[in-house]
Structure 1
Amino acid sequence: MSEKTLAAFPARRKARKRAVDVLYEAEQRDQPILDVLESRRRLAMSDAQMPGIPEYTMTLLNGVAEHLDEVDDAIDRCLVGWRLDRIPAVDRNILRVATYELLYDKDTDSAVPISEAVKIAEVLCSDDSPAFINGVLQSVSRL
C-alpha cells in the first residue's frame, strides 16, 4: 500500500487497518492475537520509528480475540460456496474486524463497519474482494 493511500485514511480506518495487520500477523505466526498485540505495543513504545497502536485498534483486537469463535461462526453462516479457511487471509481478517463491530458494537450504525471494510479491501485486496466482503457483511448485519 502506498503511503499516500494510508495517509488519506481517517483515524478510525487506520485503527481498523492496524487491527487487520495484527490479526494477519497472529494468523501467519500461529500465535495468540493478544500476544502479537502486546509484542507490537511494546515495540512501538521502545522504537520511535514504529507506529503506535491506536486505542480503537486495541479495543477491536481484544474484542475479536474474546469472541473469535462467535465471529468466525457468524461469517461462516453467511458464506455461500466458500469456507472460512479458504478465503484469503487478508480478506478473512477484514471480515473478522467488521463482523466483531457488527455483532458487538451497538453504538455504531451497521453501515459504518461495512463501508470501512470495503474501503480497506479496495486498498489491500484483489479486485473482487470489496464486493465479496460487502456481500458477506451485509448478510452478517442481518443475523
Structure 2
Amino acid sequence: MSESETGRQADPFHRRGARFRSRRRAASLLFEAEIRNLDATELARERQELGAVNEDVGEVSPFALTIVEGVSAHRERIDSAISDHLDGWVLERIPSVDRAILRVGAWELLFSEEDTPDSTVIDQAVLLTADIAAEKSMAYVNAVLDQIAGLAGHIKAAEAAVSVLGDLDAGAAAKGESYSEDAGSAVGEGDMIAEASADAELDEAAEAAEDEPGSAGAEDAAN
C-alpha cells in the first residue's frame, strides 16, 4: 500500500470529497469563532494564511473561506430562515456545532452562486452532522434545511428584486436625477406592488413546503 493510500485511509473525511472537507472546515471555523467570540471571517483568513506556511495548521480552501465569508455577510437573514423552521426549538438553545452546520447549509441554499442541487447540500449537511455533532441532530438538520430549500427560489427572487431597485436608486442618485411627484408616486406604487407580490409568493411557498414531506433525497455526497 502506498503512502498516499495509507494517508487517505487515516483520514476518513478524504473519501467524502474536497467539497465535504471544505464544508466541514467552514463549520469548524464558524463554531470556533462563536465560542471564542471572534470575527469568523478574520479567523478564517488568518488560518488560511497560516496554513499556507505551516502544514500543522489545517488548510482553509477557497470554498471554505467563501462559505465563512458568506455566512458572516448574511448572518441575520440566515439565522432568521433557520429560526422560522426550528419547530419547538430556539436557535440560541441548540448546540453550537448544530448552529454552525445549519448556517453552512442555509447559506448554500439561499446565497451560493453555484448550482449545487439542494438535495446534495442537505445530504452533505446531514453527513457533516453525523461526523461532528450528535446523531440525534441529524433528523432536524435535514428537516430544517429541507424546508428552507423549498423557499430558496422565492427568497432569492425577492432579494434579487430588492438589489435591482437599490441599484436603480443608487444610479439615479449618482446622476443627480430628480423625478416629478407623479413619477415618484408611480415608482412608489410599483415598489409596493412588487413587495406585496413577493410576500404573497413567500406565504404560498411556505404553505406548500409545510404540506410536503421533509425528505432531502440521495445525491452524490462527493460533490
Counterpart in the other structure of 1:121: 129
Give yes or no for the alignment of 1:132 onto 2:140: yes
In structure 1, the gaps of 5 or more residues are none
Q: Among residues 110, 116, 123, which one is paired with 2:118 in the alignment?
A: 110
Larger radius of gyration: 2
SS at match of 1:128: helix
Counterpart Cα distance in 2 of 1:85 and 1:119: 22
Counterpart Cα distance in 1 of 2:11 and 2:47: 23
**How many corresponding residue pairs?**
142
Task: Compare 17-26 and 39-48 and name the one that shifted more.
Answer: 39-48
Residue 84 (structure 1) shift: 0.4
Moved over 4 A (4+): none
Residue 66 (structure 1) shift: 0.6
Q: Among residues 43, 48, 55, which one is paired with 2:50 in the alignment?
A: 43
| Amino acid of the structure 2 residue aligned with 1:129 | S
Counterpart in the other structure of 1:5: 12
Counterpart Cα distance in 1 of 2:35 and 2:53: 24
Q: Among residues 2, 10, 30, which one is paired with 1:23 in the alignment?
A: 30
User: Any idea what the Cα deviations from partners look like across 1:107-136, whole Å, max 9, x if unmatched?
Assistant: 221111101000111111112111110011
Q: In the superposition, relative to structure 1, how do residues 94 and 47 fare at CA in structure 2: closer, same or farther (>3 Å)?
A: same
Counterpart Cα distance in 2 of 1:137 and 1:53: 24
User: Any idea what the Cα deviations from partners look like across 1:65-117, whole Å, max 9, x if unmatched?
Assistant: 11010000000011111000011011110000000000012522111110100
Task: Give the TM-score normalised by structure 2.
Answer: 0.61
What RMSD in Å do the two structures reach over aligned CA positions? 1.5
Counterpart Cα distance in 2 of 1:35 and 1:29: 13
Task: Give the TM-score normalised by structure 1.
Answer: 0.93
Counterpart Cα distance in 1 of 2:23 and 2:10: 16
Q: Percent identity over the alignment?
A: 33
Residue 46 (structure 1) shift: 2.9
Counterpart Cα distance in 2 of 1:25 and 1:3: 24
Q: Among residues 21, 34, 40, which one is paired with 1:33 in the alignment?
A: 40
Residue 51 (structure 1) shift: 2.5
Counterpart Cα distance in 2 of 1:110 and 1:95: 14
